[in-house]
């Protein structure tokens, strides 16, 4: 299995295990990035507050509405039998979960793409490598427009396994990750890609 970047904008703002986020102590919820080692006055460490050791995935800087594509390549250059499930959390965060077929151990891989503006897939829809999943935003507990991607191993009831690992069961997929845009890997030019999209990608990388 190989995992690539789900969006065209090439700026990773946080990797697995890093600890850059702060959350406002008093409502309403606001997330910001640390400018140094400590959170500013009025904020506290987001991950320790959430019961995490650190960040449990990858954050990819995006522009609002940027298309998000399924970036996983399986054996023989394809994925078969993967399905989608949409999700909205209590903070208004939107995302798409993509589940692998069941392994010989009775487990599934689950990839989560979070903070989306909207989804482009239906529940239980079959998903292929490079398929459009949705559009980036900053919904839920988020600091700015970006796509959060994490991977978990789940059981047949879609419950995360190994939830006591300090990352709520998320697995570091860095050994399988290559920072290339999935559509570039596949040699596909998205139909909507033009001057406006290239300009937005460039501006997002400067932020």
Tens digits of residue pLDDT in 108-160: 999 999 999 999 999 999 999 999 999 999 999 999 999 999 999 999 999 99
pTM for the model stands at 0.91
pLDDT at 29: 87
Q: Which residue has the tokens 């904008």?
A: 9
- Contact between 73 and 6 (Cβ < 8 Å): no
Out of 74-78, 100-104, 172-176, the most confident range is: 172-176
* Alpha carbons 168 and 129: distance in angstroms, whole number: 26
Both structure tokens of 12: 């990773």
DSSP letter (8 states) at residue 169: T
pLDDT of residue 191: 64
User: Which has the closest alpha carbon to 1: 111, 94, 118?
Assistant: 111
Average pLDDT, the chain: 92
> Looking at the predicted structure, is the pLDDT value of residue 86 above 80?
yes
Query: Peptide bond preceding 127: is omega within 30 degrees of 0, i.e. cis?
Result: no
CA distance linking residue 10 with residue 31, whole number of Å: 22
The answer to whether 142 touches 29, Cβ cutoff 8 Å, is: no
Taking the C-alpha atoms of residue 18 and residue 183, their distance in angstroms, rounded to an integer, is 27
Exposed, middle or buried by CB within 10 Å (0-12, 13-18, 19+), for 86? middle
pLDDT for residue 65? 94
Determine the pLDDT at residue 36. 86
pLDDT per residue over 19-33, tens digit each?
999 999 998 889 999
pLDDT at position 76 is 65
Interval 40-61 mean pLDDT? 95
Q: Are 82 and 19 in contact (CB under 8 A)?
A: no
Alpha-carbon distance of 72 to 195, in angstroms, equals 27
pLDDT band at 35 (very low <50, low <70, confident <90, very high): confident
């Amino acid at each position: 299995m190989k995992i690539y970047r789900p969006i065209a904008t090439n700026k990773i703002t946080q990797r697995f295990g890093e600890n850059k986020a702060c959350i406002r102590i008093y409502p309403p919820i606001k997330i910001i990035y640390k400018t140094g080692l400590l959170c500013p006055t009025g904020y506290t460490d987001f991950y320790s507050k959430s019961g995490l050791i650190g960040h449990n995935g990858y954050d990819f800087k995006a522009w609002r509405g940027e298309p998000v594509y399924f970036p996983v390549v399986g054996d023989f250059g394809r994925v078969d039998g993967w399905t989608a499930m949409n999700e909205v959390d209590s903070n208004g965060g939107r995302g798409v979960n993509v589940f692998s077929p069941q392994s010989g151990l009775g487990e599934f891989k689950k990839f989560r793409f979070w903070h989306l503006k909207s989804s482009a897939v239906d529940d239980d829809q079959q998903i292929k490598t490079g398929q459009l999943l949705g559009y980036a935003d900053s919904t839920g507990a988020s600091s700015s427009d970006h796509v959060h991607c994490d991977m978990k191993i789940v059981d047949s009831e879609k419950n995360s396994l190994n939830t006591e690992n300090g990352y709520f069961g998320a697995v570091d997929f860095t050994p399988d990750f290559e920072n290339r845009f999935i559509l570039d890997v596949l040699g596909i030019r998205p139909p909507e890609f033009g001057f406006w999209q290239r300009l937005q990608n460039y501006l997002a990388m400067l932020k």
